[in-house]
C-alpha cells in the first residue's frame, strides 16, 4: 500500500523533507499558509555554510555581554518587554555555550554540516537550479589584527578537527578581491567550501516545483486545523480536508505553538532578523558575500540587489517590527561600501527557531505515533534543509540513516 504523509511548513526544511519522502514512495501533501519559501526561508544571508561546524553560541566574555546589555549594537538587539519570558531560554543557551560544552555540541552538529553541500547539490541538480548558485565561498573582513588573529586560530583548529578549508587574505589581497570597499582593513578570511544562493526564496520555489514533478502536492492550509484523524493525521486545506498516515511538523519558529497544542513544552527560542536590498553607486560591484566581523552585519550580492542582513533580535514571535539594527548596520555599511537607494518598500523581517543546546530537533514525536519533528535549525536552516530532509525521510522509512540522528532527538527535552 502507498504510504501518505502531510509535511506542515513549506520552508527549506519542509520542502526538502517532502522531496525525500516522495522519492521513497510516500504520497506527500506539503501544506503552508503561504507559497513555498515565503517565511523564514525568504530572508537570510543565502549561505550554505559547510564551515559552520560550531553553531552560534551565547557570548561568554563579560565585556561582550556588557556591550550587548547596552542594547545599542548592530549585531544584537532585544526587547525589554520580552526578556522576562526569555530569561529561562537565555540562561540555558548561555550554559550550553560554555567552551567545553560548545565543543561537544560541535561534534554532534558536524555530521549534518559536513553533508550540507552534497545534499544541496543533489537537489540543485534535480531542480535545475544551478543558475542561483555561486561556488566561491565567502569572506569575513577584519578591522583589527586582534580579531583577525583570533579567528585565524579558530580556522586552524577547525581545519584540523573537521577538515574545514580556508585561506587568509592580507589587506592588499582583500583590496584586490573587493576593490570598492572603503576604509582600513587588516585583512580577511575566506571560507572556501561554502556555496552562496543569489535568491534563497527562488531556490526553495525551485525545490518545490521539483517536488511537484515527482507527484507531490502543495496546498494552502492553516496549521491550527492540524490534528489527529483516527490512527493518522489531518489538516484542512483550501481544497478541503486531507488525511495521511504520518505527518512532519517543519514549522520553524511556529513549531513552538503547534507542539504546545499537542502537549509538548520544547524550550524553543526566537532570534529575529532583518534584511534590505540596495542599489550600488556608479560602477561599484560587490564580488563576495562579506561579513563585517566587528560590526555584525553581512552584505550579499543577490539578484535583487545588495542585501544587507542583520544579526539577532530577541523578541516575541508576534512582536511588531523594530528594525533599529538595520538602521545601525546601514550607517556602517554605507561607510564601507558605496550603497545607493533602498530597493524594498520596507525592511523584511523573519524569525529563526533556536534550541538552547543549538542542535535541531529531528525525529519521532515521543508521545504520538506517526508524528515527526524537524525544526530548531537557528541560523542554519538554509544550510541544513536537504540534509535534514534526507535524514528524517530515512528514519520514517525505517532505512539505515546516513548519519547517527540520536543527538537531535526530541526526547532530550522530555521531562524525566
Q: What is the pLDDT of residues 91-147, one digit of tens each?
A: 999 999 999 999 999 999 999 999 999 999 999 999 999 999 999 999 999 999 999
pLDDT at residue 86 in the model? 87
pTM, rounded to two decimals:
0.96
Number of CB atoms found within 10 A of residue 317's CB: 16
Number of CB atoms found within 10 A of residue 160's CB: 9
4-41+201-265+357-413 is a CATH 3.50.50.60 domain:
yes
In CATH, the number for domain 52-196+268-354 is 3.30.9.10
Which cell numbers hold the place of 393? 525521510
Radius of gyration, alpha carbons of the chain? 21
Q: According to CATH, where is 3.50.50.60 located in the chain? A: 4-41+201-265+357-413
Residues near 380 by beta carbon (within 8 Å), at least 6 away in sequence? 49, 52, 55, 113
Helices (H), 178-267: 200-213, 255-261
Sequence length of the chain is 416
pLDDT confidence band for 416 (50 / 70 / 90): very low
How close are the terminal C-alpha atoms of the chain, in Å?
Answer: 38
Q: What are phi and psi of 20, to 5 degrees?
A: -70, -35
Helix H or strand E segment including 173: helix 171-177
Q: According to CATH, where is 3.30.9.10 located in the chain? A: 52-196+268-354
pLDDT at residue 1 in the model? 55
pLDDT at residue 231 in the model? 93
Helix H or strand E segment including 47: strand 47-48
For 137-188, the pLDDT digits (tens) are 999 999 999 999 999 999 999 999 999 999 999 999 999 999 999 999 999 9
Amino acid at each position: 500500500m502507498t504510504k501518505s504523509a502531510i509535511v506542515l511548513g513549506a520552508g527549506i526544511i519542509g520542502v526538502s523533507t517532502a522531496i525525500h519522502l516522495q522519492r521513497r514512495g510516500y504520497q506527500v501533501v506539503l501544506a503552508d499558509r503561504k507559497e513555498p519559501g515565503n517565511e523564514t526561508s525568504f530572508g537570510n544571508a543565502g549561505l550554505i555554510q559547510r564551515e559552520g561546524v560550531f553553531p552560534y553560541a551565547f557570548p561568554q566574555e563579560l565585556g561582550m555581554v556588557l556591550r550587548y546589555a547596552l542594547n545599542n549594537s548592530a549585531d544584537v538587539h532585544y526587547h525589554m518587554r520580552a526578556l522576562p519570558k526569555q530569561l529561562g531560554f537565555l540562561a540555558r543557551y548561555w550554559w550550553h555555550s560554555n567552551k567545553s560544552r560548545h565543543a561537544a555540541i560541535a561534534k554532534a552538529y558536524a555530521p549534518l554540516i559536513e553533508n550540507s553541500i552534497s545534499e544541496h547539490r543533489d537537489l540543485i541538480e534535480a531542480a535545475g537550479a544551478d543558475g542561483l548558485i555561486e561556488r566561491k565561498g565567502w569572506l569575513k573582513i577584519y578591522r583589527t589584527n586582534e580579531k583577525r588573529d583570533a579567528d585565524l586560530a579558530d580556522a586552524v583548529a577547525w581545519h584540523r578537527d573537521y577538515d574545514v578549508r580556508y585561506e587568509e587574505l592580507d589587506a592588499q589581497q582583500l583590496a584586490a578581491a573587493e576593490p570598492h570597499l572603503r576604509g582600513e582593513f587588516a585583512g580577511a578570511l575566506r571560507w572556501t567550501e561554502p556555496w552562496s544562493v543569489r535568491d534563497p526564496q527562488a531556490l526553495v520555489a525551485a525545490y518545490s516545483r521539483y517536488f511537484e514533478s515527482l507527484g507531490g502536492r502543495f496546498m494552502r492550509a492553516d496549521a491550527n486545523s492540524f490534528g489527529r484523524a483516527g490512527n493518522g493525521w489531518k489538516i484542512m486545506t483550501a481544497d478541503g480536508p486531507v488525511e495521511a498516515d504520518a505527518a512532519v511538523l517543519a514549522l520553524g519558529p511556529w513549531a513552538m505553538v503547534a507542539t504546545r497544542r499537542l502537549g509538548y513544552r520544547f524550550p524553543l527560542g526566537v532570534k529575529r532578523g532583518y534584511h534590505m536590498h540596495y542599489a550600488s553607486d556608479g560602477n561599484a560591484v560587490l564580488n563576495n558575500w562579506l561579513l563585517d566581523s566587528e560590526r555584525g552585519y553581512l552584505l550579499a550580492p543577490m539578484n535583487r540587489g545588495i542585501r544587507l542582513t542583520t544579526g539577532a533580535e530577541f523578541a516575541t514571535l508576534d512582536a511588531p517590527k523594530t528594525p533599529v539594527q538595520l538602521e545601525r548596520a546601514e550607517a556602517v555599511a554605507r561607510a564601507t561600501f558605496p550603497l545607493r537607494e533602498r530597493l524594498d518598500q520596507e525592511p523584511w523581517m523573519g524569525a529563526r527557531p533556536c534550541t538552547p543546546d543549538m542542535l535541531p530537533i529531528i525525529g519521532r514525536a515521543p508521545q504520538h505515533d506517526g508524528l515527526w519533528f524537524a525544526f530548531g535549525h537557528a541560523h542554519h536552516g538554509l544550510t541544513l534543509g536537504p540534509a535534514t530532509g534526507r535524514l528524517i525521510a530515512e528514519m520514517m522509512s525505517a532505512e539505515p540513516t546516513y548519519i547517527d540522528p540520536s543527538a537531535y532527538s526530541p526526547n532530550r527535552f522530555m521531562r524525566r
